[in-house]
Amino acid sequence: MESSTPVEIDSTLYYKAVGSIAIYFATVISALVICISRTRLSASNALYVLIAICSLFTTWYYILSWFKKEYEALGSDLDRFILESDLFVQAYAIVTNTLPKWWWSSQLLLLTGTALTCWSVEGQSLRLEIQADAAKKSAPKRKWTPTWWFVLLGFFGSMSVGGPLFLAQLDPKPRKLSQARSVPTILALLILAGEVSVIVTPVLPTMSTIFTQNLILTHALFLIPSLITFNPEAHKRFTTFSLRRLYFTLAIIALISHIMYSALFLTSPIMKPIVLYRALWFNHCQTSISADMIFNNLLAAVYMVQSSRQLKKLKVGLALTVMLPILSVSTVLPLYLGWREGQLVSKDVAKDKKKKIE
């Protein structure tokens, strides 16, 4: 009878892997708790909270189911699972390694640039608003949550949980602006570089070193903007970039990508609607991403309808909502946000301010 010799485990690598897993879950849980604690519970935010809750349970059910499958595939050996599974990179590879899957995943990944731009700008505007209120004795005291907490929740949890929770902390009533808002030029460049990093993903060998490096780079490029402190209403000629122009640029990038990959799919031998449908549910990992994308589409629709209604331009919100399944959420949402920026600028306020300066 042969005796099985236990495989020796490199303790350094093992504890490093355990530490990485612990940091991952600690980050997700901490971000979730902090983001929930800053939510404004009101009737206007009820749908956002509902979307976040539904997304949280749906996406994480499939994420944990995928973890379980990977664990079982390695013989239910916990040590092997910890050492051999690179789940973060594997997940990215699974949802990008075929044309049908990339057709779906690219929409969600390109949406990240728009989401991070919006979160950074609105987060900084909220910070300044809270600081101004703090100077008023009559104003209720509020705490500002750094935007990067929502970004971490979106990256390591799901964007459709971080997104609605971020919107749920904002004042739903649109505030008229005296001038168009802008972002630091470096922020705009980082966001656009992140979009480029996403676009090149399909041409990189899956699970290769450069694939992993590009994945890390993508997340870094999108995370850094949330760490930048700035005033969206302060303009400097060369160091700021028009927010409206940035949104429209992101919409154009997403539209070109969507048209290009749609054309590739339509001209390929596998062009069948059922192929795209099956790609959504390829495995539990893909299903989690698919659910995330569906909830993000729902979030975009709710936001555009609610926001356009407050601006008394409901038809615009409804028209763009109808275009979501055609042009993709990564195209439609930045298009709407760019339009909205123009609507927020009050011509009367701008004229009064100009007269005072003169």
pLDDT for residue 358 is more than 50:
no
Kindly report the pTM of this predicted structure: 0.89
Whole-number Cα distances in Å, 80 to 15, 93, 141, 284: 13, 20, 50, 21
Most confident listed range (4-8, 99-103, 354-358): 99-103
**How many separate helices (H) and strands (E) can be counted in the chain?**
15, 2
Looking at residue 213, its pLDDT comes to 93
Tens of pLDDT, residues 209-250? 999 999 999 999 999 999 999 999 987 777 899 999 999 999
Asked if 261 contacts 99 with a C-beta cutoff of 8 angstroms, the reply is yes
- In the three-class reduction of DSSP (H, G, I as helix; E, B as strand; rest coil), residue 75 is classed as coil
Give me the amino acid identity at 137.
K
Q: What does the domain layout of the chain look like in residue ranges?
A: 11-353
Give me the amino acid identity at 333.
L
User: Percentage of the chain with pLDDT > 70?
Assistant: 92
Asked if 226 contacts 146 with a C-beta cutoff of 8 angstroms, the reply is yes
Angle subtended by helix axes 159-168 and 284-310, to nearest 10: 20
pLDDT for residue 9 is more than 80:
no
Looking at residue 5, its pLDDT comes to 47
pLDDT grade for 76, boundaries at 50, 70 and 90? confident
pLDDT grade for 283, boundaries at 50, 70 and 90? confident
Tens of pLDDT, residues 101-156? 888 889 999 999 999 999 999 999 999 988 887 777 666 677 888 999 999 999 98
Phi-psi region of 34 (alpha: psi -120 to 50; beta: other; left: phi over 0): alpha
Residue in 191, 297, 163 with CA at minimum distance from that of residue 248: 191
Which residue did the predictor score with more confidence, 351 or 32?
32
Looking at residue 52, its pLDDT comes to 96
Looking at residue 10, its pLDDT comes to 67
Between CA 74 and CA 326 the distance in angstroms is: 41
Looking at residue 4, its pLDDT comes to 46
Looking at every residue in the chain, the average pLDDT score rounds to 87
Asked if 101 contacts 286 with a C-beta cutoff of 8 angstroms, the reply is yes
